Structure 1
Amino acid sequence: QKGLKGYIYGERGVWRPGDTLFIGFILNDKEAKLPTSHPITLKLSDPNGKAVYKAVQTYAKRNHYKFVVPTNPSAPTGNWEAVVSVGGAKFYKSIKIETIKPNRLKIKNSFSGRMISASAKTTERVEVAWLHGAVAKDLKLEMQAKFLKQQTTFKGYTNYVFDDPAQDFKTEEVNIYSGVTDGNGVAMVELQPQLQSRAPGMLKAAIITKAYEKGGDFSTDVTTATYSPYTTYVGVKMPQGNKYGMLETGKSNKFDVATVTENGKPKGNRMLEARVYKVDWRWWWDASNDDMSSYSSALSRTPQYSQTVRTDASGKASFNFGTDEEEWGMYLVRVTDVESGHSAGGTVHIDYPYWSGRSRNTTGPEAAMLMFTANKEKYAVGEKALISFPSSEGGRALISLENGSKVVQTYWSKTKKGETQVEIPITDKMAPNVYIHITLLQPHASTKNDSPIRLYGIVPIEVVDKNTILEPQITMPAVLKPEQKTTIKVSEKSGKAMTYTIAIVDDGLLDLTRFKTPNAWNDFYAKEALGVKTWDIYDDVIGAYGGKVNQVFSIGGDEDLGGGQAKKANRFKPVVIYLGPYTLPKGQTKTHTVTLPKYIGSVRTMIVAANTEGSAYGSAEKTTPVRSPLMLLASLPRKVSPKERVTLPVTLFAMEKNIKNVTLQVKTNNGFKVVGPSSQKVAFAQPDEKVVYFDLEVGDINGIG
């Protein structure tokens, strides 16, 4: 924005009311230098839009900032918003505040990213371990899946629709597994879920896994997989409309169909039923003119057109459909695989040619697209891109390299017979991506081919400049101990100078949202949208068929995988240590000493690094268990009533062979009284975990026990 780039990051994905937020901000002002007195302002607003916190820092040359933001224990939960304002630009980040409790168990679910089929059993491993590294044996494991609608796509079948527009799907929740982990903390889970309702195509399965401690507390993990309800899928490719996207009455239109397996392999010799229905046209008075009710009422009528087609050995077939001159309107095209039961299709609008304008086949003012290719999608600085495009002899091509804000470079090239190839050297000015535009001009009087006098094409290429990547290195012990000093050494792999922050955070907090260590490089070098518009006046001056240029760009992003549902939480102090930002001079190593609080489990040490002078960014992480030779974890309800009796389960972990006999004692204030012995002896023959129970009676008082 306005020549400035900014990146806001937090030390975790979710906070509790009352927690302190550590918000980092990296600024890149190379394109528009700010004065040294310029303010950097952070504003935090709650889910109701009320401004809760504001802080101002002055511009620093290193351009790496830290804001420490306290929150109130009674702060409302939901999505908060952090806004950093600088030089007229604004940068935003969503901050999630929920009443969560950190996990104490690490759950590794192998179903993540896999395909689960309705027609065959899928078996995967689910591994559970205590965060501090001990084996989580004989623990109860439960899995639920939430099935949601998603778009069905297969590689190699662009422009084919594989979803049924006449089939709605409401979210379904299914209990898919209940069992116990074995002696190694592993459960082999076999899934073949069956749903109540029909699906329009593939579904997204959000799998929630709960692992229960023997004391009753549980940890959660959320992952996503793809669910395939059918064995074979049918896809329909609609004919291309005219410049208004319409088909024309009085003409025959070809519809291509394809059949594939659930893994996307062509499946031949399939019997398909193609049907076309007239859909009620509702105009503006009905906001839902694409709604399911108009489709289902259309399906209840006799189809306008019906044909049975069989796909060939490569899984392809086609059929033709046209209407009389007067039969204009909206039509639902639906093709069904008779055997698998899957249907796919879409709606087409068919109208009079004189109403919709002249067709793309009969006139010249539509885009005259030039198809061309680059020999790779990604290039490093210093390499050469080889561009190939079909051409005839005697023409000229204008090759223009353009990015998000300017034209980087232009070349003229003479065309050759059959194909022209052009080599383009890749420079650091082209990072993170450039668009290659080619305008191909043919001689005016050319009758050698039937292509227009001017053809136009565009292809994006990615450029990775290795000098913009920082690789911070972390050196620290493999195992940490609570309440003891630890030394952390930070350096950069190739000795580059950098600024950095260090965050040491409880893995049980990070796992709730599957938090990825922030890396500013991914944002600063994300694919940029084209910022250059191109016109020419060939149609007006030359009087030959030149064609207008219609560009369609789809610049996509990604979204972090959302975490588990927030659990009502016990009170706890989050394990978060946040240091920096520090400056590391070229070729040096810095040493930091930290002391962990009274905590056992696992922490992730995260370094977020930047060098704004060289526009270089990077991050590093290291996960380490925090444990002692002898550890305990205890669980109690958050609230109890006077005179109530409760059981206090205590899980003991002996991590070393020399720990044999342990004495466990419970001490209480006047809120509780121990019923029975307040001390128990536990014997270990080898490193193991054991659960001991104490009975407590609540006193006849109100307060904190």
Structure 2
Amino acid sequence: YLSKQGSKNIEVQITNVPKVKLVISKIYENNLLMSQRYGYYPRETSPTHASYDGGYEGDYYEGDYTDVMLGDVIYEKEIDTRSLPKSGAGRLLNISQFEDRLPDFKGVYHVVIRSVEDYWVKDSRFISLSDLGLITKEGADKIYVFANSIKTAQPVNGVNVSIYSANNQLLGTASTNAQGVAELAYSKKDFAGFRPAMVIAKTADDFNYLPFNNTRVNTSRFEVGGKRSNPSGLDAFVYAERDIYRPGEKINFSVIIRDRQWKNPGDIPIKLKFLMPNGKELKTFRKNLNEEGSLEANVDINVTAITGGYSLEVYTSNDILLATKSFSVEEFVPDRIRVSTKLDKTALKPGETSKLSINAMNFFGPPAANRKYETEIQVKQKSFAPEKFAGYEFTLANQNSFFDKLVKEGTTDDQGNAAEDYVVPASYTDKGVLQTNFYTTVFDETGRPVSRVSSADIFTQDIFYGIKYDWFFYYPLNQPVKFQLVSVNRDGNAVNSTSRIEVIKHEYRTVLTKSGSYFRYDSQKEDKVMIDHQVTVGNNTMYSYVPRSPGDYEIRIYRPGANSYVSRSFYSYGAWGGNNNSFEVNNEGNIEIEANKKSYLAGETVTALFKTPFNGKMLVTVETD
């Protein structure tokens, strides 16, 4: 696509080709789908090369065996490569200097550049010379077309829009309004050829097209999921006493039905199916909803029932699935021995030792003497969340997931006792809180395992810093951004301590690079330290920072001398002062959306920050299924 209001330059890469031939063809409006699907090969009026038998030479000609022509050559010229102006590593070819000899016929252009001597050295492109920028949104029974000027990004009124199907049939027409929006209603047909395939937009002096096959946005990498409404418009919620049962027990459950407006649908019949693990139906029955839009039922599980995963399916009377609830039916075999474990310390520091005491007893008998046991000690990261400071984030931002494991084996003594010592490595420093789980397994005389677990916390630092989260992520320029900070000990009590605070601005150097035949945006992150100083932090200490330029910021709180920190990211925005270094852009030029909250209640306002790769006009739609 090339703007009709721009300079109309095309960059070409020509290497070791002293002279090229330029061939420009016009592809007519009614042949656009065919040319996109099967390609186009122009028929030059005076070919330079011929094959040995004097016949068709190859790629550049539509075969002489057919009268079908998708377009006509409107311009041919041999050009000295040195006459083309340089542009970086390439050269510029200006389209505006070539006259269109068929201006009355709407269409797009096909440009071929080939070597005069070696005709197989070539490249070609379809070029639409237009100022009409098009975005199409296809719905269930409507198609919305948004037309804006490519140069000014302003909506274009009065654009005649046509929708064509894959079999090149006209599905509908409409005109854009003052907002540049055209709405076309169409009815889907059972034939595959009538699916929408192309949009054509025309004004008195402009023309553009949008083929769906190579311009459709792939949504597989985006979060476009969510709850999908079924054709009945009803939602079902299934509740049970628990999720696991034994053979011979009774499963009691309740089902509540609501419509899309969260209203009681009234007295309607509901079908219930209870499926066994092998997929067969254990029970199927119908019940009507009561005056509250709910029902209660139960299913008896036979004592000889197979074990495994059962499921309850809720259907409407016309067999539309509303909800599924899973249950487990399992046998229970009692243990032969009783195992207990106990730690002498539940809170540890680096370098300290903890002792695990193990005791195994036979049920209704003597101690489980000379039984083999195995103790696996697992150390992993644990979140630190003091109850007195709910809403504060204490997680270390630059800590990778931590995991360590140690296995010890032994045999119980004559009294069924055993003990294991664990020394906390001195290297566990400034890692926050680590949880140490002691998984002990004692094997009975048949080899059947009986397991128990005991846990202890390792506090790798004396002071923990927290930042309160209010779920606001971006703030205006030149106004104080306030953060509530707290310093606590391992018991969760506030203490005064000296901290090191940094404010970092993330800047991004974004360039457009070529990868093969595609262009992509590449952002490289650079951290700029705005503030680095020491601050005394205690109970609900308020810290302020005034951002002076738009961008992506991060506040970090360190313990002096440590490399680990607690951080919070935020954005600053304004109507001026920003540049293309302010935000990172997606490497494919996509737009990223940051909402000011994770969830909203009815009646609340959503405030969103859109990170775009360049300045311009943006189309935002709010959709449901």
Question: TM-score range, shorter-chain basis?
Answer: 0.3 to 0.5
Larger Rg: 2
Q: Which has the higher contact order (CA 8 A, sep 6+)?
A: 1
TM-score calculated relative to the size of structure 1: 0.38
